[in-house]
Structure 1
């Protein structure tokens, strides 16, 4: 065999090895998240699409449990020097992440990578939650949500209620839940995330602060104050519903969502991000409504505050990794991608362009109620204390709220005592955080 015959074959082999080497050289970017079920599938799909379009990088999404578990895993990984490049952290972990020395602000990541990023592209109410005092993004909004009301239209019809009219007020909800129970449902009303929905968002929706210092945005010396008459009266109403069997408590997370889509509960208040699972599993006609408000409070409804999570960039990675992170975050913010994520999951459109595109596509016309989360957030211009919260140790404060409210549902204490105790214990946690960051 001549050298001329060998040369093309040798070149083919070398070319194959080179291509293989390039594939192997793709920079892996670990991405830890808390999206399970249908949401987890959507995250995997986003990563796959990015990887196909950017062969130099490989986003590796990994489910690390619920928000609390993934935050704990992230903190442990930082201590062991094995942190992911991207960590999804829920909104109440913002103050903790800002105070940590384990993150690189998103605006710095983009600047160092030489990739343009305009913070003004994000919806102001969302971007403000994750920005510093100069308006620079410290983490990138991803899955932002507000609580919404889901109701079983078929069950409403059976109970003699108008299936096209969800309850607008808490007073109406109490009557509807009683009617559903009378019609044979085992659960009239249930709620997920009781601290976020029944305390934090209830307060904002009724133009009330959760804490002083504009809910902590103006300083770490904030003091909790959600034990006022309006909040106490609300918990008293839920207590009475619970005693009658019209309100059922299923747990601290989103346990009520499965109780709703399984057909056990006629009404639930849950994250707008639960829409994907409800669409997938519900075998009945359902509707979406705004959060109820107390019709004795003239300022209500005000505006909802966001929940969900953002993406944080962790320290200790090389320049190639950070460039890949910036490319991925830029990809997620593209109007087509952000609009699709919003439409498939029920989370808010995080950019103005995504919201505009969704409207232009006629999505809201074809899917009544899909814009409710956004409408609640934009219902009125936010007051200084209804734009969100920035309180240290907030995950632990939510646990305290859960513990104290559970004392009400089990008949062990009054609503006033529960909220007083939660405020006292929560303030102890705030003072501890204040000392840590001094």
Structure 2
């Protein structure tokens, strides 16, 4: 019996010896928050990179939603076992920046690894969000989107309505849609504060806060209680009374109202494209966000949503070389163009955008170019580069609470926005203390 066991053990040892690779492969752990088809995209990219060379192996791991993934990564860093790469949603940028020693800036990573890297090769509206005021990229753009206006072309045609371009045209179109039978919804939106505070401000080139919306320093003061913001919220309050505008919540569960045909005009992320394509039984398109024509210089440019890839601190130089090679792999023009065309993600480089255009892709798929036209509409200003506020998830809830109170008739537009700014500033001051 003992001899048989010894023989089996020896056989296993020999088999393992033959199976072992000639040299050790350096593993790169990638934590992400992508589900469904997006999870498949992540896995495919890792597989393609791993097959392209023999030194490194990227290992993707799903860690829950965006907030869960970020919290897990920070906790893992404190415990000394953080991943090499972590996907973080755009509003977590300030939190990641303030985690001293927890990150390795991407511009430094690429320089140290000797990988070719030119920040100017990337779309400025995307890189601006993840860069310092000096243009140094802190994280690597990955899945980026923006807000667009989704249009049910069939319903607008029935109501004799052209696709609106301005807010007054949206209000008029919504009234005509209501008269044509859309009794519960003239127009609506998902992501309330993203739509009516964050994107609204950037699109009109007015500040959300000082210090370039926090990009130039955490000691920022909120400014979205201006006359323009008050006018816009008051218009929504007035239209809410008869459901010409119908508030649909803070997040994106309400997107189904567009796919079902209930709301023929609906503002939400350009990343909704895949769902719209799979659920809408009507002819649809996307159009740029509306603007007030009496605001000088509007429209400006939109700001991005989505997430970027952060490199965690405390890793070995050889591991960082692998991460840098992976980022160079992701930046390849053909790969970016293909990823954009198949998934609906925005291409992160100018070359990938130009290639997609040159290939005639947008002539057949104009919907996917809308967010790109918005992001590149004009060179970003300090009001439209993006935003970087600490505890942004908490602040969005506070802003939404005040908007809801106004839409429910409990506060005036001015009172609601004044209070949203006041409460938001208190949250920023708390964050500022912890970030120092």
TM-score, length basis structure 2 = 0.89
The residue number in structure 2 matching 1:117 is 117
The residue number in structure 2 matching 1:308 is 306
The residue number in structure 2 matching 1:34 is 33
- Do the aligned partners of residues 317 and 435 (structure 1) sit closer, same or farther apart at CA in structure 2, a change above 3 Å counting? same
1:436 Cα offset (Å): 2.6
Question: Helix, strand or coil: the match of 1:188?
Answer: coil
- Check if 1:403 corresponds to 2:401: yes
The residue number in structure 1 matching 2:159 is 159
CA distance in 1, matches of 2:152, 2:234: 25
Deviation by residue 1:178-217 (Cα, 9 ceiling, x = unmatched): 3333333343322122212210111111121111122223
- Runs of 4+ in structure 1 deviating by more than 6 angstroms, as ranges, are 13-16
CA distance in 1, matches of 2:279, 2:268: 15
CA distance in 1, matches of 2:248, 2:23: 47
Contact 1:92–1:394, Cα closer than 8 Å, also in 2: yes
TM-score, length basis structure 1 = 0.89
1:15 Cα offset (Å): 9.9
Query: Any stretches of 5+ residues in structure 2 without a counterpart?
Result: 1-11
- Do the aligned partners of residues 19 and 386 (structure 1) sit closer, same or farther apart at CA in structure 2, a change above 3 Å counting? farther
Candidates 175, 180, 183, aligned match of 1:183: 180
The residue number in structure 2 matching 1:199 is 197
What does residue range 318-329 of structure 1 map to in structure 2 within 5 Å? 318-329=316-327
Moved more, 18-27 or 426-435: 18-27
Query: Any stretches of 5+ residues in structure 1 without a counterpart?
Result: 1-12
Moved more, 262-271 or 350-359: 262-271
Question: Helix, strand or coil: the match of 1:369?
Answer: helix
CA distance in 2, matches of 1:89, 1:285: 34
CA distance in 1, matches of 2:175, 2:14: 72
Contact 2:130–2:137, Cα closer than 8 Å, also in 1: yes
1:99 Cα offset (Å): 1.6
The residue number in structure 2 matching 1:7 is none
- Do the aligned partners of residues 176 and 23 (structure 1) sit closer, same or farther apart at CA in structure 2, a change above 3 Å counting? farther
What does residue range 37-436 of structure 1 map to in structure 2 within 5 Å? 37-101=36-100, 102-161=102-161, 165-185=162-182, 186-436=184-434
Question: Helix, strand or coil: the match of 2:218?
Answer: coil
Contact 2:208–2:222, Cα closer than 8 Å, also in 1: yes
1:24 Cα offset (Å): 11
- Do the aligned partners of residues 397 and 37 (structure 1) sit closer, same or farther apart at CA in structure 2, a change above 3 Å counting? same
> Please, what is the CA RMSD of the aligned residues?
2.5
1:14 Cα offset (Å): 9.8
1:382 Cα offset (Å): 2.4
1:231 Cα offset (Å): 0.5
Deviation by residue 1:74-126 (Cα, 9 ceiling, x = unmatched): 33333333422211112222222112121111123223333332222212232
CA distance in 2, matches of 1:70, 1:335: 28
Deviation by residue 1:326-374 (Cα, 9 ceiling, x = unmatched): 2221111111111122223333221011111111111111212322212
Contact 1:107–1:138, Cα closer than 8 Å, also in 2: yes
